[in-house]
Structure 1
Amino acid sequence: MGKAFNLRVGLPILFLANTASAAGNQMIADGERVIGQIFDKVEPVVESGAHGFFQLLDNQPIAFILLALALGTYIGKFTVKSISLGSTAGTLLVGVILSMIAQSAYDITYSIPGVLSSFMLLLFMYALGLKVGPQFFSGLRKGGLAFVVIGLVVWSLNWIICFFGAKLVGLAPGYATGLISGSYTITAILGVGQGALSSGAYVPPAGMSIEEVGANMAAAYAISYVLSSIGIILLIRYLPRIFGRNARAEAKLAEADFSGGATHPVPGAPSALDMAFSPYDLRAFVVTHKSFVGRNIAQLTADFPEAPILRVVRDDAIIELTDDLTILEGDIVTLRANVHDLILNEGELIGPESDNLLARNVPIEVADVHVGSHAISGKTFEELESQGTGGVEPQALFRAGNELPIGPKTDVRFGDVLRLTGPDSALKLAAKKLGGNVILPTMKSEVLYLAIAMLIGYLVGIMTVHISGIPFALGTSAGCILAGVGVSYFRSRNPEFGGPVHEGARSFLQDFGLNAFVAVLSANVGPKVISALGGDTIMWLALIGVVGALVPPFIAFWVGIKIFGLNAIIADGATTGARNSTPGLNAIIEESGSSVAAVPYPVSYALTTVLALIGGYFSMVLTT
């Protein structure tokens, strides 16, 4: 009976198992067919292998930029005997190597639209202008003549080395102009040289076409550009060290000199709203003394203006502060005043100190307030404090962008900017009395002002004046850095003007903008280097280009520190401006840990940009 039962049960189970297995196999087969139909429609991005990898970078330029940025930044961190490439030179080197391998091994020519690199460069220049704006005009007053002379030294020596060097070794027409353009890293010189050809100002010798001269210019430009770009970054980075100067120590001296003795960043400047050391502190006391019990906030504020009550805690709850709030025995009151006074006096006047978290958790912030009340104008700090500070402490006072010392007799005037610390509610109340608004730290970037200012700077930069057929323009880079300078300058007088800008956001624009520009540039230059290879001509192009790129700034730096007595970082900033090397400027900023090198940069940059275009034109016209 048991066996029969097992047989009857077992057969259906076996049948069901076989059926399920068949159904499962059918489902798998159907699934594979559906998946196959889906992926039959998906074409591979590129072929496999190294060729496919470089083809991918050609099809997806963003991938090339990000790869060059990642590898270049990583390589730039390596240090050999305290010398490193830095992120900018590393990115340039990686990009050029990738583009050269693609061209030589797989006949792939990378070409990334220049508008991307141009925009990234302009972002860098604007962000840098925001950083150094308040110091820019001080720099002009302190070293304007020296900056001009440094610019003249770099430009004239570069022109002499490249023009007469090419002539001395017998290079064909076009090479000299290309060498000047590449060693100076100013692509516009090629356009000026081409303009001299197309206008007939220069006629090629018999047997040579205009196209051949243009090809010579491009080849010389490509070779000298790559070598001089990497070389100038390293030279500018280590010039102070070569002359026995400590870059970081020199930068601190320069910052102190250009600040005019100020100890706080001007309004709108990076770190302006960072919390600094203050002798003021928060303390909480349990009210037990009869002199406090039964009195209201207005009475206590009048009697103790130097130590206002910021918070009252009663029965583990915060009580809303009003002038008629009466203090009861057992209340916990929070005060903010000079620590010395609080330690010595308040405990005796009020009662024992309390560690109650609710009473002590009063956030303190830093804010700039633009004085807009004529009723306040002319009053001294002593007079303002006598009216009750509400727990607000003055940290700095700025007038017309300059910091003034704070003392009891210092007066506050209409248009001044006061930097205050205190609780948010107290800051807003103080701002209302001063006739202004509270400017607090922010994590936002002011895109509206950025876009308008960069647009104005860009339009000013492209304005061109033709003199004797030579086009002259300030340049979009110079236009945008001056736009940043202008915004930060006006913000130092009125912090509500487009600010504040968070330093992290500004720093990101500066670093990412330049390195992305260099990554795009390296992709487009690499193929030109390949086309210029061959024969002994490349040896002369490399030698003359490097000498023309590095010797003039070396001598100009010496002139700056020895003849004019400039601070090494200021001389370095003027030198890299004279060489039109924005990556070089970033290198000395990284090395010195300060942006003060950018103060003289726009002066020598603007001067030599004009002179280089003139020189490029005549290098073509005078070629024989």
Structure 2
Amino acid sequence: MEWIINQLRVHPELAIFLTIFAGFWIGRLKIGKFSLGTVTSVLLVGVLVGQLNITVDGPMKAVFFLLFLFAVGYKVGPQFFRGLKKDGLPQVGFAVLMCIVSLLSAWALAKIMGYNVGEAAGLLAGSQTISAVIGVAEDTINGLGITDAQKASYINAIPVAYAVTYIFGTAGSAWILASLGPKLLGGLDKVKADCKELEAKMGSSEADEPGFAPALRPVVFRAYKINNEWFGKGKRVTDLESYLNGQGKRLFVERVRQRGIVKEVKPNLILKDNDEVVLSGRREFVIGEEDWIGPEVLDAQLLDFPAETLPVMVTRKTFAGETIATIRKQKFMHGVSIRTIKRAGINVPVLAQTVVDAGDMLEVTGMKHEVEAAAKQMGYIDRPTNQTDMIFVGLGIVIGGLVGALSLHLGGIPISLSTSGGALIAGLVFGWLRSKHPTFGGIPEPSLWVLNNVGLNMFIAVVGLAAGPSFVTGFKEVGASLFLVGALVTAIPLISGLLMGRYLFKFHPALTLGCTAGARTTTAALGAVQDAVESETPALGYTVTYAVGNTLLIIWGVIIVLMI
């Protein structure tokens, strides 16, 4: 054991990976529905390993933190700038006000309790579950005109306060929004009814828009043999599809076999008795058609044809700003279904009146030739790849870091975004550029996960290791009262957001819940809210406020240091 400890001191990179291993493993453990989460677990393991007096030298911590911040900005960039448009301004205003309440709550209670700069920054980071504040505040403290000893003392206090307040920041946010939130908006039953009404208004009911439902209802292909008198001496393919659509069933003829020969499907192809047809559509509509068209046939040759699912990025020049219903009516959408919509990594309900934004990733499915033709019309086919455009990433971080390094001196205090804040802003701009010109700057989703999660947790691991020797002393100094203070700083912005959404902005209850979760960047709370109200509609208010909240709350790491 002594040899292992000595090796961890000689090779601190091994201590970092030990912390990552144990932190991720503990973060997956759950007691009921509660878990510490990866970030908190990595921090606490780092503190524990840090008791061995392990020193991590060099810029490793900063490198990983810059990668993380660029990834955050890249992910939310399209929605951040989309929110600046007229229809998104109310949600932007809501997010800005709520973020200001978050900052002022942390600042006021820190002043009342007599917390120092580091404790105040940790309080903000943990109570608002915005881990990046740790790094941004640390950069700002390092730029202050104080002694190195004071800087070290303040910086070591940040993870202590963060760890104490983060637990309620995560679990408490989900409880407040999912349990207390609906009560403040008129009661759970009323909010559920309002969400169902919104779904119906946006075209989710089977009577209005039967072709649109949650993605868990798959598109299927089934073959039937015609023996119905309706076909008489013959009906065109277009006649059959029009009839089925008139019955509220969005089905398409994909293949036809006549006299043993599989023929190319054309709108004017005549269908007659004993012909075999393949229909595509939602499972619940295709099953049962044998009662009308004829018996189902299990024919491997007839059903063996290329079907494809493609991810498509919608661009400003294609269908950005249009509804799903409008896109569905286009001729090129014949035989093609939209399975999912992802916006800033969040699944948005596929409803008829859902408005598609530039940068949205749509997943479309159908026959290979139909899907590819439709995808080219809808936007940029973002085929799966394992290559990250590192030229794009490297250039973005360099430009952002240089801009962030610029500073102004007010009253002898240097004020700047710091290199970390600059990397965040660069990520926003470069992510937005990618949504406008998707032919370059691609970062595959798995790579984005690595930059985001590994970047943050490597940084947190180093923070924990550095804070380890002083963590216990710092915990004794802040006391258990910090937990209660953190709970207040968590609750005040959330309750304020719910009340502002209802009375000031007069949002729909579903949007109020989604906007409040988004401005606090708490995806776990969004999931809890959707489970509580039994609807996905709160996600419609999440993405714009999430982009604004992610940006402002990180920048608050600079502001709260200067305010204290």
Bucket of the pairwise TM-score, normalised by the shorter protein: 0.5 to 0.7
> Is the Cα contact below 8 Å between 1:179 and 1:217 reproduced in 2?
no
2:129 equivalent in structure 1: none
Q: How does 1:197-596 map to 2 (within 5 A)?
A: 197=146, 214-219=148-153, 221-222=155-156, 224-240=157-173, 246=179, 276=215, 281-286=220-225, 300-304=236-240, 306=242, 308-312=252-256, 332-336=276-280, 352-362=295-305, 363-368=307-312, 370=314, 390-393=334-337, 406=352, 420-431=364-375, 434=377, 437=379, 439=381, 442=384, 444=386, 446-448=388-390, 449-486=392-429, 496=438, 503-527=445-469, 529=470, 538=473, 542=475, 545=478, 553-564=486-497, 565=499
Asked if structure 2 preserves the Cα contact closer than 8 Å seen for 1:557 and 1:572, the reply is no
CA apart distance, 1:337: 5.0
- Assess, with a 3 A threshold, how the Cα gap between structure 1 residues 547 and 217 changes in structure 2: closer, same or farther: farther
Q: Distance in 2 between matches of 1:506 and 1:392?
A: 29
Structure 1, unpaired ranges of 5+: 1-49, 104-108, 164-175, 198-212, 265-273, 578-584, 617-624
Q: Distance in 1 between matches of 2:44 and 2:57?
A: 17
* Root mean square deviation of aligned Cα: 5.6
Identity %: 21
Query: d(CA) in 2 for partners of 1:428 and 1:72?
Result: 43
* 2:101 corresponds to: 149
Q: Which residue of 2 aligns with 1:18?
A: none
The CA deviation string for residues 51-75 of structure 1, in whole angstroms up to 9 with x for no partner, is: 2101222333332122111212233
Q: Which residue type is aligned with residue 359 of structure 1?
A: L
Distance in 2 of aligned mates of 1:153 and 1:385? 49
Deviation at 1:231, TM superposition (A): 0.9
Residues 1:111 and 2:56 are matched in the alignment: yes
- Cα shift at 1:483: 4.5
The change in CA–CA distance for 1:385 and 1:569 in structure 2 (over 3 A counts) is closer
Larger Rg: 1
What amino acid sits opposite 1:605 in the alignment? L
Give the structure-2-normalised TM-score: 0.65
1:91 aligned partner = 42
Aligned residue for 1:111, secondary structure, equals coil
1: CA distance, partners of 2:349 / 2:18: 45
Match for 1:140 among 89, 92, 97? 92
- Asked if the contact 1:442/1:500 (under 8 Å) is kept, the reply is no
Letter of the 2:56 partner, please give it: S
Please point out which of 534, 539, 553 is paired with 1:605: 553
1:70 aligns with 2:25: no
* Contact kept in structure 1, 2:336 and 2:370, CA below 8 Å: yes
Give the structure-1-normalised TM-score: 0.60
How far apart are the structure 2 equivalents of 1:244 and 1:390? 41
Amino acid at match of 1:93: L
Question: CA 1:319–1:152 in structure 2 vs 1: closer, same or farther (change >3 Å)?
Answer: same
Change (3 A) 1:60 1:361: farther
Cα distance in structure 1, aligned partners of 2:23 and 2:491: 31
Partner of 1:121: 65
SS at match of 2:51: helix
Which structure 2 residue ranges, 5 or more long, are not aligned? 125-133, 204-212, 243-250, 501-511, 531-538
Tell whether the 8 Å contact from 1:181 to 1:188 is kept in structure 2 after alignment. Answer: no
Within 1, Cα distance between the matches of 2:374 and 2:174? Answer: 49
Note if contact 2:28-2:38 (Cα within 8 Å) is conserved in structure 1: yes
Q: Which whole-Å deviations, capped at 9, do the CAs of 1:573-598 have from their partners, x for residues lacking one? A: 767x8xxxxxxx69878988998784
Assess, with a 3 A threshold, how the Cα gap between structure 1 residues 610 and 518 changes in structure 2: closer, same or farther: closer
Assess, with a 3 A threshold, how the Cα gap between structure 1 residues 221 and 551 changes in structure 2: closer, same or farther.
farther
Shift of 1:323: 8.8
Query: Alpha-carbon deviation of 1:439?
Result: 2.4
